[in-house]
């Protein structure tokens, strides 16, 4: 009987002392409702992150229409200004969100990385073996005001 109690206590102590890294906030939890504006461009794009089924809202300026096209991205199939895309979250940890997006037969890997303070966002997009890097800063601008034209860039 004493061995059973000792075994039970040993099991409980190992369960309680194991690394709790699984409880760390994810990128989407950490940046829920936070927006970022592209640095040093006349008509910047934006990224707003959400810990929900629609996890990215992405206003992008349309030169032809001279207004922002506001896209909402979730896992699965999405309608975008380029056509129908399929999106999958590959990684979502405390500092990185990595997604795979396929549109018109072309697959891109997009990796968002946030600095430790949560103010500077780096986006690295790899498409057809080529990488492009973009830089964003935290913004107080609201998604709805960008998309309804209240705020222009």
CATH number at residue 136: 2.40.128.20
Q: Quick check: 14 pLDDT over 60?
A: no
Residue 9 included in any domain:
no
Q: What angle do CA 136, 23, 33 make, to 5 degrees?
A: 35
Q: Which of 2-11, 12-21, 67-76, 138-147 has the lowest mean pLDDT?
A: 2-11
- Into how many domains does the chain fold? 1
27 within 8 A of 38, measured Cβ to Cβ = no
Look at residue 100 in the predicted model and tell me its pLDDT: 97
Tell me the C-alpha to C-alpha distance, in Å, between residue 75 and each of 8, 79, 85, 91.
42, 12, 10, 12
Check residue 151 and give its pLDDT: 63
Return the SS3 of 13.
helix
Report yes or no on 1 lying in a domain. no
CB-CB contact of 59 with 72 (8 Å): no
Q: Is the residue at 12 inside a domain?
A: no
Question: Which pLDDT belongs to residue 13?
Answer: 34
Is position 90 within any domain?
A: yes
Q: How does DSSP assign 125-149, residue by residue?
A: EEETTEEEEEEEEEE---HHHHHTT
Structural domain contains residue 11:
no
Model confidence over 18-39: pLDDT tens digits? 344 456 899 999 999 999 999 9
Please tell me the predicted confidence (pLDDT) of residue 31: 97
Residue 6 domain-assigned (yes or no): no
In a domain, 76, yes or no: yes
pTM value > 0.85: no
pLDDT tens per residue, range 70-105: 989 999 998 876 788 999 999 999 999 999 999 989
Find the domain containing 132 and state its range: 20-147
The least confident of 10-24, 100-114, 123-137 is 10-24
């Amino acid at each position: 009987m004493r061995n059973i109690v000792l075994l039970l206590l040993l099991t409980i102590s190992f369960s309680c002392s194991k690394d709790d890294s699984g409880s760390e906030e994810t990128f989407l939890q950490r940046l829920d409702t936070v927006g970022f504006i592209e640095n040093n461009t006349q008509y910047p794009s934006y990224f707003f992150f959400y810990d929900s089924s629609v996890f990215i809202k992405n206003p992008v300026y349309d030169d032809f229409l001279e207004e922002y096209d506001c896209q909402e991205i979730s896992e699965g199939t999405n309608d975008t200004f380029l056509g129908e895309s399929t999106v999958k979250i590959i990684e979502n940890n405390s500092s990185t969100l990595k997604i795979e997006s396929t549109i018109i037969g072309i697959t891109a890997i997009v990796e968002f990385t946030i600095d430790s303070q949560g103010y500077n966002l780096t986006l690295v997009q790899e498409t057809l073996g080529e990488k492009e890097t973009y830089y964003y800063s935290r913004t107080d601008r609201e998604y709805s005001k960008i998309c309804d034209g209240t705020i222009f860039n």
